[in-house]
Amino acid sequence: LETEEKPLKISDRLLRMIEQSGKKCLELLQSFYFEKKSMHEIADTFGFSGERSATTQKFKCLEKVRNEIKKRVMKKEDFYE
């Protein structure tokens, strides 16, 4: 049997959490996860000194989002429609 996987939709709630991390974080995470840019491309685009700096900044952005989620005590189910 061939099964089709449905892509997960990001809820408006999660998008708001990501937006609250700041414009630069939103753009960086969008570049990496949705536009599939390499860390080298991201470093060039955002003016980081190299891939390592871009990776560190991506991690910091993800931490901002995680902390916002923890602060609001959300469940995994809250993020998917």
Query: What are 11-54's pLDDT values in tens digits?
Result: 777 777 788 888 999 999 999 998 999 999 999 999 999 999 99
Residue 63 in this model has a pLDDT that exceeds 80: yes
One-letter amino acid for residue 37 of the chain: K
Stated pTM of the model = 0.70
Nearest CA among 11, 34, 29 for reference residue 65: 29
Question: What pLDDT score does 25 carry?
Answer: 92
Specify the 3-state DSSP secondary structure of 7: coil
Residue 4 in this model has a pLDDT that exceeds 60: no
The two structure tokens encoding residue 40: 């080298």
Helix (H) or strand (E) holding 43: helix 39-46
φ and ψ of 5, to 5 deg: -90, 130
* The residue count for the chain: 81
